[in-house]
């Protein structure tokens, strides 16, 4: 018996005043509010109004730069940001349904610290937390910590053997990092806390477990100091552009963000990741990333992009495809790529709040009219929203 098509998922990627470097100069931009809780709350509440599955929040260990491999000295771009995990923890209690996947760099940070931060986010959001793990393959970030040297990389050298070896090592470390996160989240069984005042037993120590992880870059004894999160395992996501990061997505994540060029490319990427996934695991939810410039007409959307590029002094290019057009035209692309196999889309607004409201008040109603997107939230947790089961605890005894 057919169960019908897979549900369509939508997410929005929040970064400063938008993904275009000149977005902060738009009339409706709020650059003076970037460091305020109200700014981020307003954006996420709008995303929730549009019934989106989750938001991601960008972060990094160096100042923003037009080139992700090198820090520049430009003063005509947004520079400086708040910690993404802390933004999510501040905003989550003010929402009821939308999920939060803040970005966390795993190259130089400690998995024990991140595990309890994301577990805490899962508690304060009542089960709507996750994390997007990210590498920091640049020497500037390494110099903030002084623990290792990372060679200079560039977009033109990424295909060379030495650069691929560096990236492969960082991805292997990231896989270990995610494994530690997952073990620490499982290190408390679900019923480890007894809280029995009469007997004076608050916790059953037999239901706390050492994880005894030994890797090439770190070893972690455990257990966590935070009880198992409400979802059991918060969602883990990663962004990938080719075969090496696809391996991390397939082996270690619940959600993969990818950057197809068209529907056939999207279908090929979905098949590639699925072929690498171990049997017995729930399929990775693959989301296609698009940078979006939206308006009431295609001509107006193109004019918006041209104006932004002129202000930036150069045409903005991205790892993801740019969509320039109307919400209805975007709905056509969404349906086509969804039919090709992607679970959903992580849309990157060129400017905020304009392109976000075009998504929530233009794209979403259009998809609802076509009968392909929800008209109300139904799930209690982010895992449920994405159709993922709550994992059994690996340390629990029968």
Q: Is residue 283 part of a domain?
A: yes
Lowest mean pLDDT among 61-75, 123-137, 279-293, 327-341: 61-75
Residue 71 lies in a domain: yes
Place of tokens 């295609």: 298
- Residue that has been written with the tokens 């100069």 in this structure: 25
For 117-130, letters b (16+ CB in 10 Å) and e give: bbbebbbebbbbbb
| CA 272 to chain CA mean position, Å | 20
CA 70 – CA 154 distance, rounded (Å):
8
pLDDT at 153: 83
Please give the Cα distance from 236 to 102 (Å, whole number).
10
Whether residue 275 is contained in a domain is answered as yes
Q: What is the mean pLDDT of the chain?
A: 95
**Count of structural domains within the chain:** 1
pLDDT of residue 71: 83
Asked whether the predicted pLDDT for residue 166 surpasses 70, the reply is yes
pLDDT higher than 60, residue 366: yes
168 in a structural domain: yes
pLDDT at 211: 97
Q: In whole angstroms, give the CA distance from residue 350 to residue 357.
A: 12
Dist. CA 179–CA 202, nearest whole Å? 28
User: What CATH number corresponds to the domain at position 370?
Assistant: 3.20.20.30
Q: What pLDDT is stored for residue 345 in this prediction?
A: 98
**For residue 44, is pLDDT > 70?**
yes
Q: Is residue 197 part of a domain?
A: no
Start-to-end CA span in the chain (Å) = 35
In the predicted model, what is the mean pLDDT of residues 167-181?
A: 97
Q: Is residue 35 part of a domain?
A: yes
Q: How far is CA 66 from CA 31, 61, 318, in A?
A: 18, 15, 10
Closest alpha carbon to 123 in 255, 227, 41, 51: 227
**Those residues with Cβ within 8 angstroms of residue 351's Cβ, 6 or more apart along the chain or in another chain:** 17, 18, 20, 23, 26, 28, 29, 304, 308
Q: What is the largest CA-CA distance in the chain?
A: 72
Position 4 scores a pLDDT of 57
Do residues 245 and 238 make contact, with C-beta atoms less than 8 angstroms apart? yes
- CA of residue 380 relative to chain centroid, distance: 19
Q: What is the pLDDT of residue 150?
A: 87
Angle (CA) 221-224-230 rounded to 5° is: 145
Query: How many angstroms separate the CA atoms of 336 and 350, rounded?
Result: 22
Checking if the pLDDT of 101 tops 70, the result is yes
Whether 342 and 262 have beta carbons less than 8 Å apart is answered as: no
- The pLDDT, as a whole number, for residue 149 is 86
State residue 1's pLDDT score.
38
The yes-or-no verdict on residue 377 having pLDDT over 60 is yes
Asked whether residue 157 carries a pLDDT value surpassing 90, the answer given is: no
Nearest to 56 by CA among 386, 373, 348, 361: 348
Alpha helices (H) in the chain, listed in sequence order: 37-49, 84-91, 111-124, 139-143, 161-186, 243-252, 263-276, 298-312, 327-340, 354-358, 364-369, 382-385
Strand partners, 9: 344
Tell me whether residue 163 is in a domain: yes
What pLDDT score does 152 carry? 86
**Domain with 21 in it:** 9-185+226-385
* pLDDT of 2 strictly over 60: no
Please give the Cα distance from 397 to 303 (Å, whole number): 62
- As given in the structure block, the two tokens for residue 29 are 């931009």
For strands 213-214 and 219-220, give the pairing: antiparallel
Q: Given the structure tokens 């340390």, which residue do they identify?
A: 395
What confidence category does residue 19 fall into, taking pLDDT thresholds of 50, 70 and 90? very high
Domain-located, residue 313: yes
Decide: 42 and 34 in contact? Cβ < 8 Å.
Answer: no
Indicate whether 25 pLDDT > 70: yes
| Span 215-253, pLDDT tens digits | 999 999 999 999 999 999 999 999 999 999 999 999 999
pLDDT of residue 151: 86
Indicate the SS3 state at residue 77.
coil
Q: Helices (H), strands (E): how many in the chain? A: 12, 13
CA torsion sign, 218 to 234 to 276 to 256? negative
């Amino acid at each position: 018996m057919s169960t019908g098509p897979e549900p369509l998922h939508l997410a929005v990627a929040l970064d400063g005043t938008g993904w275009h470097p000149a977005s902060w100069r738009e009339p409706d931009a709020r650059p003076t509010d970037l460091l305020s809780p109200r700014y981020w709350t307003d954006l996420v509440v709008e995303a929730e109004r549009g019934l989106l599955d989750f938001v991601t929040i960008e972060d990094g260990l160096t100042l923003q730069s037009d080139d992700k491999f090198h820090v520049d000295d430009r003063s005509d771009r947004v520079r400086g940001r708040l910690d993404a995990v802390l933004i999510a923890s501040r905003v989550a209690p003010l929402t009821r349904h939308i999920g939060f996947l803040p970005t966390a760099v795993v190259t130089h940070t400690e998995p024990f610290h991140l595990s309890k931060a994301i577990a805490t986010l899962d508690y304060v959001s009542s089960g709507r937390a996750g994390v997007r793990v990210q590498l920091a393959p640049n020497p500037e970030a390494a110099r903030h910590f002084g623990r290792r040297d990372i060679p200079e990389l560039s977009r033109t050298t990424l295909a060379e053997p030495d650069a691929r070896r560096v990236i492969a090592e960082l991805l292997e470390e990231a896989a270990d990092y995610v494994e530690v996160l997952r073990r620490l989240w499982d290190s408390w069984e679900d019923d480890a806390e007894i809280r029995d005042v009469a007997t004076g037993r608050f916790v059953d120590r037999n239901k706390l477990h050492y994880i005894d992880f030994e890797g090439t870059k770190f070893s972690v004894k455990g257990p966590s100091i935070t009880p198992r999160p409400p979802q059991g395992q918060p969602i883990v996501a990663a962004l990938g552009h080719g075969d090496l990061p696809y391996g991390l997505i397939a082996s270690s994540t619940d959600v993969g963000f990818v950057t197809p060029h068209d529907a056939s490319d999207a279908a090929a990427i979905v098949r590639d990741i699925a072929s690498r996934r171990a049997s017995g695991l729930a399929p990775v939810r693959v989301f296609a990333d698009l940078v979006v410039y939206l308006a009431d007409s295609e001509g107006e959307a193109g004019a918006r992009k041209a104006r932004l590029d002129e202000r930036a002094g150069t045409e903005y290019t991205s790892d993801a495809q740019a969509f320039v057009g109307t919400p209805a035209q975007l709905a056509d692309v969404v349906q086509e790529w969804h039919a090709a196999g992607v679970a959903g889309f992580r849309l990157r607004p060129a400017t905020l709040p304009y392109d976000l409201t075009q998504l929530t008040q233009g794209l979403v109603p259009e998809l609802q009219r076509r009968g392909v997107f929800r008209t109300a939230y139904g799930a209690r947790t982010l895992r449920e929203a994405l159709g993922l089961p709550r994992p059994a605890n690996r340390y629990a005894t029968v």
